[in-house]
């Protein structure tokens, strides 16, 4: 999984790096608002820092396993 950014142009998402996606690729779209600041708690920032540190050490979670676990949540 990779993170890529882009903009909506004439109703289509255009990636900033001009890279192409494989035909039929499944994508998730997060629609960000740059006009409003995002407020996060100290606890949320600590979670992000911990996740970055885990990733740097190679402690990763398979996305499929994560999604399965997420679907089990009520």
Cα Dmax for the chain: 42
pLDDT digits (tens, 9 = 90+) for 2-52: 777 888 889 888 888 877 788 888 888 877 776 777 788 999 999 989 988
pTM, full prediction: 0.41
Residue 10: burial class (beta carbons within 10 Å; 0-12, 13-18, 19+) = exposed
Q: Which of 46, 15, 17 is nearest to 29 (CA)?
A: 15
Can you tell me the mean pLDDT for 44-63? 90
């Amino acid at each position: 999984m990779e993170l890529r950014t882009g903009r909506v142009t004439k109703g289509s998402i255009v990636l900033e790096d001009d890279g192409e996606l494989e035909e039929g690729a499944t994508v998730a779209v997060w629609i960000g608002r740059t006009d409003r600041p995002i407020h996060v708690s100290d606890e949320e920032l600590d979670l992000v820092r911990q996740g970055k540190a885990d990733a740097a050490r190679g402690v990763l979670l398979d996305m499929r396993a994560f999604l399965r676990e997420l679907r089990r949540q009520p």
